[in-house]
Structure 1
């Protein structure tokens, strides 16, 4: 069967899907497999998909979409899994803006039920010249290899947070902007979360010389089982570009299910970390994150940012009760960037 896609989701990028593609009805029920689906119905919220250029495009009833089978475990979004079996005609749920589809296991009252999509088949790729038999397309093709060992690295700035939407990406972007304007060659990455180009594109827009995410490593989303190996592979790849430093975001929250705790517990990854920036939604979250860092992970907290520092009330609490500088990425980005630079290169400050 041949299809012409109306939309190709950003999560498919490693698979290099053509607008006109051939399908097979034999769909492997595996994370990362690229499937063709037909959108069913419309919504007034959470009704878009990010395309290969990072542009959000609306999903309309009947659209043929190239999507990716995957899982999601979001507190403020949908949670879902890859079903045990996927057949043509099955109805799946669109789980995120990057075009991941699966079986929704938990919703969100602010978003309403997820959009449904009918499975049309698995997209076929033809990796071997002259071969007429296609194989199921997967985002594991052309992926940055995972690694068991971290090679010597440029100093790393780790940006973690209490939850999704805690200001992590904003903090990363402003740190990158300040450092790059001061002549530093900055590499950037998003190591955990669920696939979306928007975050790493934002880092590039702010001055990162190069950026990668776990999607480049062939993952629709991360978990404790894969996060460390994925992170080491991405950091090794970034270091081949000879950066002065790396600014990396640990997507979702410290206590989430995308593997942040595994990364913070890995001796090799933490040994390469020179600066730790925590983003928190409120003072209690800031306190809890700092306690986790100090007591569970035995790590320093150098800076706290995020909505907890949006005004003097939160800032005073952070600095007086937690004993950490409170630097807001939106209100005082220059001070945040300068503080990180001082941590990376004390003699330059």
Structure 2
């Protein structure tokens, strides 16, 4: 192939490869398998994030290196790794995740996904198809909970996709940093794209990490044990700087498969220091915080998109005793609220 190949972000660590164009018809791809794809028709994705985190424009006939993966995104696409690759494929995520769209949000019905086709499989020097997850497998640690004991893990969870949890995390990071703490940010679940890590770094995080650092195109349909090992591995990566606090975001809403799997796991919950809950409206804020409380993860603060509306804030405050902060207040007063929560917890332990 003489055309320049645009290497997407999820494939940034793929080196020393060859391209095999001979076995495409019968090949059954797995999550993380790497291929070279030709852009057929531009749809939702007009750019992909490249290995340097630059948004690279794509047009028909371009070639890109990407990885097969699944995606769960209620405001965008539901998509899966296909049984075979000799069919129309789609870009599922800008970080370089490809598969076949199963459903999409109404906003994209007329636009549709960007369609692609596989033109070659990326192989190593021994003739094996290269895989982003297998490429990092030796760096994955088994879950023990020990890494979480080296920092205080603040969860940022939300009622749904686009409920404001990344923004809440970033402004809490900012507040902690302004208070003189060393702070890490982790995105544990989601679909590979660096925007959330970059945002939290811009607002003060000393170090950031996410699941794609260990080769995961996404975490959708991962096993529970796999998620726990990934959690341990990401914590081990960030505690090298000895952060006082680690703000960790979990993607999507409380009822999403991986989210509820983690939030109801006793071993995982034991490692959590505190919780920020973000919601899009008052009903979601109240019901979501009640759900979290029933799981033993009562939030120390409520935030998210609903805090843009004074009326919604009043509705929430009329139905809960939990503190409600908008993003500016999270930065300015979030640490004070957190310390009150910590002191209350210490008092209960003493009693």
TM-score bracket, shorter-length normalisation: 0.7 to 0.9
Paired residue secondary structure (1:301): coil
State the partner residue of 2:14.
Answer: 16
Paired residue secondary structure (1:277): strand
Q: Give per-residue Cα distances to partners, 1:31-53, cap 9 Å, x unaligned.
A: 0111110001224x432211223
State the partner residue of 1:123.
Answer: 122
Paired residue secondary structure (2:37): strand
Cα deviation, residue 134, structure 1? 4.0
Q: Please show how residues 100-115 of structure 1 align to structure 2 within 5 Å.
A: 100-111=97-108, 112-115=111-114
Unaligned runs of 5+ in 1: 127-132
Paired residue secondary structure (1:149): coil
State the partner residue of 1:256.
Answer: 256
Unaligned runs of 5+ in 2: 345-351
Cα deviation, residue 260, structure 1? 1.0
Residue 189 (structure 2) pairs with residue 195 (structure 1): no
Q: Please show how residues 277-316 of structure 1 align to structure 2 within 5 Å.
A: 277-295=276-294, 297-316=295-314
**In structure 1, distance between residues paired with 2:306 and 2:318:** 14
- Contact residue 280 and residue 305 of structure 1 kept, 8 A: yes
State the partner residue of 2:348.
Answer: none
**In structure 2, distance between residues paired with 1:165 and 1:17:** 35
RMSD: 2.3
Cα deviation, residue 86, structure 1? 2.2
**In structure 2, distance between residues paired with 1:36 and 1:123:** 7
**In structure 2, distance between residues paired with 1:70 and 1:104:** 11
State the partner residue of 1:74.
Answer: 73
Q: Out of 93, 105, 114, which is 1:96 matched to?
A: 93
Paired residue secondary structure (2:107): coil
Cα deviation, residue 337, structure 1? 4.4
The alignment covers a number of residue pairs equal to 332
Residue 274 (structure 2) pairs with residue 272 (structure 1): no
TM value normalised by structure 2:
0.87
State the partner residue of 2:142.
Answer: 147
State the partner residue of 2:246.
Answer: 246
Paired residue secondary structure (1:30): coil
Distance 1:160 1:42, change over 3 A: same
Residue 51 (structure 2) pairs with residue 52 (structure 1): yes
**In structure 2, distance between residues paired with 1:201 and 1:16:** 22
**In structure 1, distance between residues paired with 2:342 and 2:214:** 27
**In structure 2, distance between residues paired with 1:125 and 1:334:** 51
Higher share of residues assigned helix: 2
**In structure 2, distance between residues paired with 1:345 and 1:227:** 31
Cα deviation, residue 93, structure 1? 0.8
Paired residue secondary structure (1:304): strand
Paired residue secondary structure (1:192): coil
Residue 34 (structure 2) pairs with residue 34 (structure 1): yes
- Contact residue 163 and residue 252 of structure 1 kept, 8 A: yes
Cα deviation, residue 338, structure 1? 4.0
Cα deviation, residue 271, structure 1? 1.9
